[in-house]
Structure 1
Amino acid sequence: MTPNELNAILFGALLVLLVAVAAVRLAVRAGLPLLLVFLTIGLAIGEAGLGLEFENATLTQELGLIALGVILAEGGLTTRWSVIRPVLGLSVTLATVGVLITVAITAVLAHLFLGLDWRTAILVAAAVGSTDAAAVFSVLRRLHLRPRMAAALEAESGFNDPPVVILVTLVLSDAWTDANPIAAAGQVLYQLVVGVLVGLVAGRVGEWVLSRSALPAAGLYPVATMALALLAYAGAGLAGASGLLAAYVAGVWLGNAQLPHKRATMGFAEGMAWVAQIGLFVLLGLLASPSRLLGVLVPALIVGGALLLVARPLTVFLCSVWFRVPWREQAFMSWAGLRGAVPIVVSTLPLSAGIPTAHEIFDIVFVLVVVFILIQAPVLPFLARRLGVADEPTRELNIEAAPLEEAHADILQVAVPEGSGLIGVYIDELRLPRHAAVSLIVRGGHTFVPDQSTAIAAGDQLLVVVEASARGETERRLRAVGRAGRLARWFGEQGQERPSQPSPRPSRLFGRQRRPQPAPTHARRRA
């Protein structure tokens, strides 16, 4: 490849990226699903548009799986363990047993109504059997769902990709003809267990290293954090395990660790996830052939109808009934099982394997994803309000930390949002630990050193210097006052990171959450 050819490829790729970024703003304002916008860009520059021919399914598959690793790592980094822990059993059940139920029902219906052979029917059903992390993260996080509801759906989408990839790989391999259920089950178990272990090791080692290192530039922390999550992906792949699961688990661990420059890390990870989504969807759009898609519209609608109206609701009911999930939450979870990049990427595996029905499988899955993202996503806001599963926007504090290695201390940057309990609280009422102090306040573009009688205002940026050993206690105290005001201890607020609120019925995972009551009026005077 000559330098001019390389520059031309780079120019075209960056131009597509910029067009996609500009399209994000237009799509959000118009209410269009972003997945559809990016796929359309790929189709527009493909063989039916600008004439760029691209048929390398193997390259698409490999780059697609890496992009999914980046997306899952970012999803793990932004997942709070305190919220996901109560629904972990439900999420894992949906991601394993639920996937098998969904695939079985969809495959049977596809075989009966479309006359597909069993192998093709199972491959189609497996490709659409898992919810998509990119679609779930991007759509549900704009709905302000109750934390546990959102956590259950996000964790399911993070955990259910590996079982589907493993299942499709097994069906495409010699295991299909020389079926050995015990060996197949052992292989699946090995990939899942080792994937989790690799993710845990990468996350724990990464936390130990990053929390004890003062890197010369703040921008290195986000790079190192994402590199550790993707290291887990590659390490699990070398061990023959699930790299997608390892990346997600490592991301969850690192995202819940007390690491320096956490907010910058989240911003960097979000940017990488956007680039991965754009590149992935555009590449998948390039691989598709529009001339073939119209011919599989009816089969795609039949498979999609079987999935959306029969398989998904039955799966949610069978998996969630043991966890006493109310019917309203079950109904929303059934409709919110979004499909996106993962099914299309999985459908490239048969193309790479070269089976006779590979193009039919890819086309059916591609059309199904496009049609049903248009049907499902726009209805979710209305459905969330109608079923009463939406929650108020969070007013949690954003606390950014930077280490002072030689002083064995940290600097915390605290942004005070509108509606926070910190508003009106005097510095001496914060009751911070002994080795912590508010050293500086930025207000309205002006900086000043506060004294004990300074009252905190909305929009303030607080700089808190704290000894490293007292950082956790200081963050918890700030969060507690931010939630419940100066009488946080009186209300029993301990400031744990996004704690799970008790429900009216202890046996229910979901349901209306009890909120701390505001402080009485007489408590607004200085303590």
Structure 2
Amino acid sequence: MPILKLEEYAIILLIIALLTIFLTRRIAVPYTLGLVIIGFILSMSGLLPDVRLIPDLVLLVFLPALLFEGAWSLRWDLVRSQWRVIFFLAGPGLLLSLVIAASVLHLLDGLDWGTAFLLAAILSPTDPVAVLSLFRQLHVDERLAVIIEGESLFNDGVAGSLYQTFLAVVLLSVHGGGSAGVAIWGRGLLLFALQAGGAIALGLASGWLISQTVRHIDEPLVETTMTLVTAYGVYLLADLLQLSAIVAVIVAALVVGNYGRSIGMSERTRMAVDNFWSVLAFLANALIFLLIGAQLNPLSLPSRSGGELASLLIALFAIGVVLLARLILVLFLGPYSLLASPIQRRERKERRQPSFPRSWQLIIFWSGLRGALSLALVLALPAEVPQRSILLISCYAVVFFTLLMQGMSLRWLLIRLPKMHQPDATSLPSAH
């Protein structure tokens, strides 16, 4: 695409995004959801420029910036206070929901195990932008916001690594004559361990090196540029080394955002870096959610020989599977949850006090929105992946339902549920 045409499209999209944001602020709707709706309407009417949410645009342009900004702004002390819940949701809980979703897809939808796990991994990453925007508008307790944001951030890393693992399993099965034996799954698991472990090591080393470097510099512009180079440099280096680029950027940003900023950045530099990444993330989110709305145009869905009814049934089934897996996951956060420490569980049992408010369970369940990363992953699937059209239809349906249906109803839910704004101080398990 010519540079001039690219600039024209970018300006048009930004103007549409700004007008949408002004409108949504007047009617108290998260701007991200407003952008999805406007993008969908303009795409259906043919008024939006012919631009698409291509995988490289998300994975190479938007994602490094969004990952770095999210990890940079996430305070480790707050994450540590809720680490049990976040670790469960993004670790064992994610694996649990993955197995549930893949099992249902395999048994009821007829997908082979490799493809079922691949689709489950694609649908695993959550997108908290609209949710956190609502939380800020309604002054929801900060601890709940930390849980939602922490889950999404670490979830992206785990889900991204699992996606690469199951895609490798599927492709090995295809090129191996369709026999996905123990050896293929063993190679897939080994690939996951190497990619995730290597990415963590790369992120830690890069974050530490940048943190030590900024100790000897007191220039906001230079240090801000170094964080930008870190975000994209670590991502590209991890991708070149065939490691999990998502995990590497998250780890590096956490180290720089917590360790580096405390030992090597002045207050003036911290404000400059915070402002830079806030603006960059805002622009990236504005463009990406507008493009998501355009991408959800039903006309862009792949055609199937079974017709529209078959596509509708596939879409409804995918939505049901995701909701079921999320519900079972959140039920483990129920009263007297094992996520509290033994002392806390004993004290709360004696006082007959739940370790996790039921209202928070419901919010965590309903706030599991899917967005750009899921779309980018499914669009990046090679053509030889079996039943690729089913994966596309399923992902489109889940993203559409979670962003528009769940996202638009979340405000109504937050306003009516108790313990949202002034929860009991002991309602969540603490690491201290």
Could you say whether these structures have the same fold, taking a TM-score greater than 0.5 normalized by the shorter chain as the test?
Answer: yes
Compute the displacement of 1:323 (Å).
0.6
Confirm or deny: 8 A CA contact 2:127 2:152 kept in the other structure: yes
> Does structure 2 conserve the Cα–Cα contact (< 8 Å) formed by 1:98 and 1:319?
no
Q: Secondary structure at the match of 1:191?
A: helix
> Secondary structure in 1 aligned to 2:46?
coil
Structure 1 residues 45 and 299, CA, compared in 2 at 3 Å: closer, same or farther? same
Consecutive unaligned residues of structure 1, counting only runs of 5 or more, are: 393-501, 514-527
> Partner amino acid for 2:247?
L
Distance 1:33 1:504, change over 3 A: closer
What residue number does 1:191 align with?
195
Q: Deviations over 1:474-504 (max 9, x none)?
A: xxxxxxxxxxxxxxxxxxxxxxxxxxxx954
Map 1:408-423 → 2, pairs under 5 A:
none
| Cα offset, 1:327, TM superposition | 4.2
Give the share of equivalent positions with the same residue, in percent.
Answer: 26
Q: RMSD of aligned C-alpha atoms?
A: 3.2
Kindly indicate which of the two structures has a greater share of residues assigned to strand: 1
Corresponding residue number in structure 2 for 1:331: 362
- What amino acid is the match of 2:245? G
The aligned counterpart of 2:320 is: 305
Is it true that 1:345 corresponds to 2:340 in the alignment? Answer: no
Shift of 1:73: 0.8
Specify the alignment match of 1:462 in structure 2: none
Contact 1:288-1:363 within 8 A present in 2 as well: no
2:392 to 333, 345, 362: 362
Pick aligned residue for 2:282 from 260, 269, 274 = 274
1:222–1:142 Cα change, 3 Å: farther
Pairing 1:322–2:338 present? yes
Determine the structure 2 residue equivalent to 1:169: 164
Q: CA deviation at 1:387?
A: 3.5
Question: 1:62 aligns to what?
Answer: 56
Q: CA deviation at 1:159?
A: 0.8
- Distance in 2, matches of 1:382 and 1:281, equals 22
Whether the 8 Å CA contact 1:43–1:285 is kept in 2: the answer is: yes
**Whole-angstrom CA distance in 1 between matches of 2:366 and 2:223:** 38
Distance 2:384 2:39 in 1: 23
Q: Secondary structure at the match of 1:272?
A: helix
Answer yes or no: is the 8 Å Cα contact 2:370–2:399 preserved in 1.
yes
Gap change, CA 1:167 and 1:227, over 3 Å in 2:
same
Residue 232 and residue 391 in structure 1: after superposition, are their counterparts in 2 closer, same or farther (change >3 A)?
farther
After superposition, what is the alpha-carbon deviation per residue over 1:139-162, rounded to whole angstroms, capped at 9, x for unaligned? Answer: 444443333322222111011112
Change (3 A) 1:252 1:137: farther
Question: What do the CA deviations read for 1:346-399 (whole angstroms, capped 9, x no partner)?
Answer: 21132x34435223322321222122222222343444451413359xxxxxxx
**C-alpha offsets along residues 170-227 of structure 1, whole Å, 9 cap, x if unaligned?**
3332344354344322322222222222222222222222232133xx4443332232
1:117-128 equivalences under 5 Å are 117-128=112-123
Retained in 1: the 8 A contact 2:314–2:390? Answer: no
For 1:38-57, what per-residue CA distance to the aligned partner results, in whole angstroms no more than 9, with x for missing partners? 445555665861486567x8
More helix by share: 2
| SS in structure 2 of the partner of residue 226 of structure 1 | helix
Q: What amino acid sits opposite 2:430 in the alignment?
A: L
SS at match of 2:10: helix
- Structure 2 unaligned blocks of 5 or more: 174-179, 302-307, 341-354
Which residue of structure 2 aligns with residue 457 of structure 1? none
The letter for the 2-side match of 1:335 is W
Q: Quick one: structure 1 residues 336 and 288, their matched pair in 2 at CA, closer, same or farther if it must change by over 3 Å?
A: closer
For the pair 1:254 / 2:262, whether they are aligned, the reply is no
Change over 3 Å in CA distance of 1:32–1:144 after alignment to 2: closer
Tell me if structure 2 keeps the 8 A contact 1:144–1:391: no
Higher RCO, 1 vs 2 (CA within 8 Å, ≥6 residues apart): 2
AA aligned to 1:171 is: F
Q: How does 1:62-461 map to 2 (within 5 A)?
A: 62-66=56-60, 67-173=62-168, 174-176=171-173, 177-180=180-183, 181-215=185-219, 218-256=220-258, 257-258=261-262, 259-260=265-266, 261-287=269-295, 290-291=298-299, 296-308=311-323, 310-318=324-332, 321-324=337-340, 325-328=355-358, 329-350=360-381, 352-385=382-415, 386-391=417-422
Task: Provide the rounded CA distance (Å) in 2 between the counterparts of 1:89 and 1:317.
Answer: 15
State whether structure 2 residue 20 is matched by structure 1 residue 23.
yes
Q: Which moved more, 1:98-107 or 1:377-386?
A: 377-386
Q: TM-score, normalised by structure 2?
A: 0.79
Distance in 2 (alpha carbons) for counterparts of 1:342 and 1:28: 26
Number of residue pairs the alignment of both structures matches: 391
- Residue aligned with 1:251, SS: helix
Which of structures 1 and 2 has the bigger CA Rg?
1
CA distance in 1, matches of 2:68, 2:300: 34
**2-structure distance, mates of 1:74, 1:96:** 22
Match of 1:303, as an amino acid?
A
Q: Any conservation in 1 of the 2:200–2:251 contact (CA below 8 Å)?
A: yes
When residues 157 and 335 of structure 1 are mapped into structure 2, their CA distance, relative to the original with a 3 A threshold, is: same
Q: How far apart, CA to CA, are the structure 1 residues paired with 2:418 and 2:241?
A: 44
- The answer as to 2:21 corresponding to 1:6 is no
